């Protein structure tokens, strides 16, 4: 696959992208037992509202081990539209946020800002199971650094750019596959109204413009073979559940887990399960 990175700051306004600047460095705080947003706000001289806005929280409920972005009330006040009494000082923007729009995905946003899905997840306290929603604001640049982008007149991305893009795409394919969990199983099915295993895989990849053969046997002959030790989200894993050959497949999502149409619905299973581990025959990266 080849990708072009066409997103520059000069074109952000014409593409309807909302950028919010934050002018103070932020730190990260890991929530401990007994912590509350109020106590954390007091400790770091900020406000509960600023903490909620900076961390995309809809309530004041937090959990031990959760990582929060912490900054001054002046910096978060600017990010959330709050007024502060601090004197404004002209500085270069050190952080940017992006407002999620309908149809956005983590992979799509990562391409706009030439960053990885992993970075988006880390900076925003997300994981591979997180779902983003329109109106949500995501941090798209490290604190105290500027967005690294290529202009629309830049040359073709080099190999490292392509590798990053392909990895990011894999995470987004895995994310999309998980949105179909619970769709019913139907022999020969190729839509959310009913999927069989290969129909599900074909449908997921078609969402990203990637055309695959209809059957699991055909899909096993596509793409590039991947060793089990090198599996990445977005790879297709195959099994010989009906005798020899790739009679079943699913989309790998990380941590030895994969999404597949099996049993009565689209579900998550594990390669560590004795059944699936015993029938595993290989993987392909498209």
CATH topology for the 9-139 domain: Membrane-bound Lytic Murein Transglycosylase D; Chain A (3.10.350)
pLDDT in tens, 236-258: 999 999 888 999 999 999 999 99
Task: Specify whether the CB–CB gap between 247 and 216 falls below 8 A.
Answer: yes
The separation between CA 144 and the C-alpha centre of its own chain, rounded to angstroms, equals 23
Question: What does the alpha-carbon distance between residue 91 and residue 24 come to, in Å, rounded to a whole number?
Answer: 9
**Residue 184 DSSP one-character state:** B
Strand partners, 30: 67
Question: What does the alpha-carbon distance between residue 25 and residue 73 come to, in Å, rounded to a whole number?
Answer: 11
Question: What does the alpha-carbon distance between residue 176 and residue 189 come to, in Å, rounded to a whole number?
Answer: 18
Question: What does the alpha-carbon distance between residue 30 and residue 10 come to, in Å, rounded to a whole number?
Answer: 36
Task: Specify whether the CB–CB gap between 219 and 257 falls below 8 A.
Answer: no
Task: Specify whether the CB–CB gap between 259 and 251 falls below 8 A.
Answer: yes
pLDDT at 170 over 70: yes
In the chain, domain spans: 9-139, 180-285
Of 40-54, 182-196, 258-272, the one with minimum mean pLDDT is: 40-54
Q: Which of 248, 255, 256, 279 is catalytic?
A: 248
Q: Is 197 a catalytic residue?
A: yes
pLDDT in tens, 20-48: 333 334 577 888 887 887 777 777 777 77
The mean pLDDT of 121-139, rounded to a whole number, is 81
Question: What does the alpha-carbon distance between residue 204 and residue 7 come to, in Å, rounded to a whole number?
Answer: 26
As a whole number, the mean pLDDT across the chain is 75
More confident residue, 236 or 90: 236
CA distances in angstroms from 20 to 81, 155, 215, 221, 233, listed in the order given: 10, 28, 46, 46, 31
The mean pLDDT of 65-76, rounded to a whole number, is 61
More confident residue, 223 or 48: 223
pLDDT at 209 over 60: yes
**Burial (0-12, 13-18, 19+ Cβ within 10 Å), 246:** buried
Q: Which of 55, 114, 124, 260 is catalytic?
A: 260
pLDDT in tens, 262-278: 999 999 999 999 999 99
**pTM of the prediction?**
0.48
The pLDDT value recorded for residue 23 is 36
The pLDDT value recorded for residue 146 is 35
The pLDDT value recorded for residue 87 is 37
User: pLDDT exceeding 90 applies to what percent of the chain?
Assistant: 36
Question: What does the alpha-carbon distance between residue 220 and residue 247 come to, in Å, rounded to a whole number?
Answer: 9
The pLDDT value recorded for residue 159 is 53
What sign results for the dihedral spanned by CA atoms 233, 122, 51, 43?
positive
Q: Which of 114, 197, 207, 230 is catalytic?
A: 197
What sign results for the dihedral spanned by CA atoms 187, 195, 269, 169?
positive
Residue with tokens 């406000």: 47
Number of other CB atoms surrounding residue 254 within 10 Å: 17
Question: What does the alpha-carbon distance between residue 148 and residue 254 come to, in Å, rounded to a whole number?
Answer: 27
- Of the candidates 31, 24, 61, the one whose C-alpha atom is nearest the C-alpha of residue 45 is 24
Supply the CATH classification number for the domain 180-285.
Answer: 3.90.1720.10
Of 36-45, 133-142, 147-156, 162-171, the one with minimum mean pLDDT is: 147-156
pLDDT at 90 over 80: no
């Amino acid at each position: 696959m080849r990708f072009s990175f066409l997103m520059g700051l000069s074109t952000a306004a014409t593409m309807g992208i909302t950028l919010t600047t934050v002018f103070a460095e932020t730190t990260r705080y890991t929530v401990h037992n007994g912590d509350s947003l109020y106590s954390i706000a007091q400790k770091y001289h900020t406000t509960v509202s600023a903490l909620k806005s900076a961390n995309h929280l809809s309530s004041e409920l937090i959990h031990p081990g959760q990582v929060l972005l912490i900054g001054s009330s002046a910096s978060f006040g600017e990010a959330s539209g709050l007024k502060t009494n601090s004197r404004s000082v002209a500085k270069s923007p050190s952080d940017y946020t992006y407002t999620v729009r309908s149809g956005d995905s983590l992979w799509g946003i990562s391409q706009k800002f030439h960053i990885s899905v992993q970075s988006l997840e880390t900076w925003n306290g997300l994981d591979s199971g997180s779902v983003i929603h329109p109106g949500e604001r995501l941090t798209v640049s490290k604190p105290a650094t500027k967005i690294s982008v290529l202009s629309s007149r830049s040359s073709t991305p080099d190999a490292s750019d392509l590798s990053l893009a392909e990895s990011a795409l894999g995470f987004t394919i895995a994310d999309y596959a998980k949105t179909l969990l619970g769709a019913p199983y139907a022999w020969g099915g190729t839509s959310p109204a009913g999927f069989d295993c290969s129909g599900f895989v074909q449908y997921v990849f078609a969402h990203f413009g990637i055309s695959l053969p209809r059957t699991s046997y055909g899909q096993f002959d596509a793409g590039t073979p991947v060793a089990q030790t090198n599996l990445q989200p977005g790879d297709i894993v195959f099994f010989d559940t009906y005798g020899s050959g790739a009679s079943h497949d699913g989309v790998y999502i990380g941590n030895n887990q994969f999404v597949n149409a099996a049993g009565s619905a689209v579900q998550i299973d594990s390669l560590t399960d004795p059944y699936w581990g015993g029938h595993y025959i290989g993987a392909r990266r498209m």
